[in-house]
């Protein structure tokens, strides 16, 4: 008896704990989630470190070469007396100086690398925000599907109860109860599937943001409006501002500056030298200039590699322009198809399916229609609503893909 009482109390505590967690779940808007991801996402932290490294490389390019000092000492033998003499030593200081065009080329490479890293960070942030938006709207989409499934489940439970009473008193055949049970099981399955999809979407969304997001959280927001109009001419004009193109252009500048540096390194600079040699009876001062002579090695290999790398990046830029144009056109066509489907649902199909359901439901309650016709009408209305939600989701995803490709803000989350 005590064990049973303990289990009842423990179950009551767990139930209250679960309920309180559900009620007190932390809620986040889309803007909040993107702001947190910008600070905590591991990929963004890696990119920040790469930016710091690129900025440090500019200081490296601006630094002068350190001077070198050479010192030596040793005995001297007089060739006349064959006597060893001490106090024989020498010191030489050397300073290598690069030509200004070489230093400028090194700095240009470092600056173009920083631009490339920054463009890579920006492109990655755009992609990350797109993934967050997709998963955010996935959660809202699945929540609306869950509402439909739970509403159908509750309605079918009521219908099943009424059918069971009619079967018990002999007013309805037993196969109507079997049909009602089958529909109820399907509604239960749809509700459980919607809950699972909500859980998976939230789990993926949490993985995109960071560890500070609790396991039990909710999102605040609604699906965007379906009256967004896109102009294909304006979209095509925005292709040149694509983050992907800017990233490859930055890589092209790095390759071009590296080629210029390799060409200038054929004559990199001069080395200034100054020294003193001290013999017991003689002190010598030396001043000199050292210039490399590019006789055997004129850096043909390095220049050839840099040229090939530059040509490769240029080819990638041309290919990316074609790919980007194709992807934008494809996303726009998906937008048009989804827009047409959404318009068909909103201007007729939803209303018609709902009207048919109300008519059949009224007829069923007054005994003019059978349970099978009512269940078919309800199933049809449920499918129409789900198809509408799917079309609206495809419509939003197509617009988000255009936002990602061109880095233009077409829609904002609505609270």
| C-alpha to C-alpha distance for 166 and 90, rounded to whole angstroms | 118
User: Which of 83-87, 99-103, 186-190, 399-403 comes out lowest in average pLDDT?
Assistant: 83-87
On whether the CB atoms of residues 115 and 247 are closer than 8 A, the answer is no
Average pLDDT over residues 104-124: 90
Helix 371-406 vs helix 100-169: angle between axes, to the nearest 10 degrees?
Answer: 170
DSSP 216: S
Residue 408's closest CA among 232, 225, 235? 235
Which residues are 276's β-sheet partners? 91, 285
On whether the CB atoms of residues 74 and 80 are closer than 8 A, the answer is no
Tally of CA atoms within 13 A in the half-sphere of 109 that contains its CB: 19
Query: Would you say residue 137 has pLDDT above 50?
Result: yes
The per-residue pLDDT for 85 is 62
The per-residue pLDDT for 86 is 64
Average pLDDT over residues 297-312: 91
Residue owning tokens 């890579």: 120
Query: Would you say residue 340 has pLDDT above 70?
Result: yes
On whether the CB atoms of residues 408 and 402 are closer than 8 A, the answer is yes
Question: Exposed (0-12), middle (13-18) or buried (19+): which is 286, by Cβ within 10 Å?
Answer: exposed
Q: Which of 170-184, 215-229, 251-265 has the highest mean pLDDT?
A: 251-265
Average pLDDT over residues 392-404: 90
Q: 3-state class of 350 per DSSP?
A: helix
The predicted model scores a pTM of 0.74
Q: Which residues, at least 6 apart from 140, have a Cβ–Cβ distance to it below 8 Å?
A: 219, 221, 222, 223
**Matching CATH number, 26-76+95-406, of 3.40.47.10, 3.90.180.10, 2.40.30.170, 1.20.1600.10:** 1.20.1600.10
Helices (H), 30-170: 30-40, 42-62, 100-169
Average pLDDT over residues 153-160: 80
Query: Would you say residue 333 has pLDDT above 90?
Result: yes
Query: Would you say residue 25 has pLDDT above 70?
Result: yes
Query: Would you say residue 405 has pLDDT above 70?
Result: yes
On whether the CB atoms of residues 225 and 343 are closer than 8 A, the answer is no
The per-residue pLDDT for 335 is 92
Query: Would you say residue 21 has pLDDT above 50?
Result: no
The per-residue pLDDT for 395 is 92
User: Which of 12-21, 166-175, 336-345 comes out lowest in average pLDDT?
Assistant: 12-21
Residue owning tokens 């200039």: 289
The per-residue pLDDT for 413 is 41
Q: 3-state class of 55 per DSSP?
A: helix
Q: What is the pLDDT of residues 32-66, one digit of tens each?
A: 898 888 888 888 888 888 899 999 999 988 888 89
Pairing of strands 217-220, 26-29: parallel
On whether the CB atoms of residues 76 and 282 are closer than 8 A, the answer is no
Report which of residues 332 and 12 the model is more confident about: 332
Average pLDDT over residues 328-349: 90
Q: What is the pLDDT of residues 89-102, one digit of tens each?
A: 889 999 999 889 99
Q: Give the rounded percent of residues in the chain with a pLDDT score beyond 90.
A: 24
What ranges do the domains of the chain cover? 26-76+95-406
Q: What is the mean pLDDT of the chain?
A: 83
Report which of residues 279 and 256 the model is more confident about: 256
């Amino acid at each position: 008896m005590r064990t049973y009482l303990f289990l009842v109390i423990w179950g009551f505590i767990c139930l209250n704990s679960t309920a309180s967690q559900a009620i007190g779940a932390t809620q986040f808007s889309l803007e909040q989630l993107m702001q947190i991801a910008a600070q905590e996402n591991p990929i963004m932290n890696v990119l920040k470190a790469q930016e710091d490294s690129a900025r440090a490389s500019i200081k490296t390019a601006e630094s002068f070469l350190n001077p070198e000092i050479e010192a030596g000492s040793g005995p001297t033998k007089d060739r006349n007396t064959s006597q060893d003499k001490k106090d024989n030593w020498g010191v030489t200081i050397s300073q290598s100086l690069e030509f200004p065009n070489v230093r400028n080329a090194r700095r240009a490479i470092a600056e173009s690398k920083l631009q490339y890293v920054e463009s890579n960070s920006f492109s990655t942030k755009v992609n990350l925000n797109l993934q967050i938006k997709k998963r955010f709207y996935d959660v809202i989409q699945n929540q609306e599907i869950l509402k439909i499934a739970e509403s159908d489940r509750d309605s079918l439970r009521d219908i099943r109860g009424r059918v069971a009473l009619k079967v018990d008193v002999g007013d309805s055949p037993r196969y109507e109860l079997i049909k009602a049970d089958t529909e109820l099981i399907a509604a239960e399955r749809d509700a459980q599937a919607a809950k699972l999809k909500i859980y998976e979407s939230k789990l993926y969304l949490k993985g995109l943001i960071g560890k500070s997001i609790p396991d039990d959280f909710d999102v605040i927001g609604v699906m965007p409006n379906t009256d967004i109009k896109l102009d294909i001419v304006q979209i095509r004009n925005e292709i040149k501002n694509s983050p992907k193109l800017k990233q490859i252009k930055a890589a092209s500048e790095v390759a071009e500056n590296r080629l210029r540096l390799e060409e200038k390194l054929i004559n990199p600079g001069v080395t200034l030298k100054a020294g003193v040699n001290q013999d017991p009876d003689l002190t010598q001062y030396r001043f000199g200039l050292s210039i490399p002579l590019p006789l055997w090695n004129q850096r043909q290999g390095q220049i050839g590699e840099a040229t090939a790398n530059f040509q490769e990046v240029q080819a990638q830029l041309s290919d990316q322009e074609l790919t980007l144009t194709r992807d934008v056109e494809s996303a726009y066509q998906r937008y048009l198809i989804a827009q047409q489907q959404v318009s068909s649902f909103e201007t007729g199909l939803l209303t018609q399916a709902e009207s048919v359901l109300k008519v059949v439901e009224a007829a069923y309650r007054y005994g003019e229609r059978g349970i099978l016709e009512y269940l078919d009408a309800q199933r049809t209305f449920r499918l129409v609503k789900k198809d509408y939600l799917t079309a609206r989701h495809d419509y939003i995803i197509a617009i988000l893909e255009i936002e990602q490709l061109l880095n233009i803000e077409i829609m904002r989350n609505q609270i």
